[in-house]
Copies of this chain bind each other. A is one copy, B any other.
């Protein structure tokens, strides 16, 4: 059985959970708090980051959310997520990297720092100026999602792909922390509701982070 070392609000752990869910790969969840820096976890992943996927009996350890998704893309035929021609696949990987890197750096990481880490670890209030700037960048990214959805059926083209799950994973973390203002982003909002209603999303919507409850609308697939 696969074991996924994850953190509930790690967007990359969420991306992997969504991909495994779509592909019907069963796994056990193992909770890892990134700030604890457990020696046993560093022994598995010298970079000390979630997600890590392990299959003890096969002596296999997979690290990095994209490497993990590519592994299951290559080994499980069900529900291809990096699909189509080489050019289509390049577009899926471009957008996946955009959400994993730019969106994460601009939006998810600062929100996690301000709304989760400061609260849980330092019991300090968030920096409201920094949060405002982050919200401005979130709107720019949502504008881009609106544009994509205006021009395509799914983010990377005619078919549902890993790009949709990478984007939804980032947004779901911000949604949990109460931070997505969808006003003016009907296209992105409609797309996100569809993503949220997929069976692969259900475990994410049920997962709670202790002492940091999500807002009421978080698990409502119509919100």
Contact = CB atoms under 8 A, between A and B. Distances in A.
Given A71-B86, A71-B89, A89-B70, A94 B144 contact: no
A66 B144 contact: no
A63 interface: yes
Interface centre among A47, A62, A71, A94 (most CB of B within 10 A): A94
Contacts of A98: 47, 64
Contacts of A97: 64, 66-67
A102 interface: yes
Interface in A61-101: 62-64, 66-68, 70-71, 74-75, 86-87, 89-91, 93-94, 97-98, 101
Shortest beta-carbon contacts, A-B, top 4: A67-B93, A64-B97, A71-B90, A63-B94
A75 B97 CA distance: 20
A46 interface: yes
A206 interface: no
B90 A68 contact: yes
Interface in A97-155: 97-98, 101-102, 144
Nearest to A58: B87
Contacts of A194: none
A82 to B, nearest CB: 9
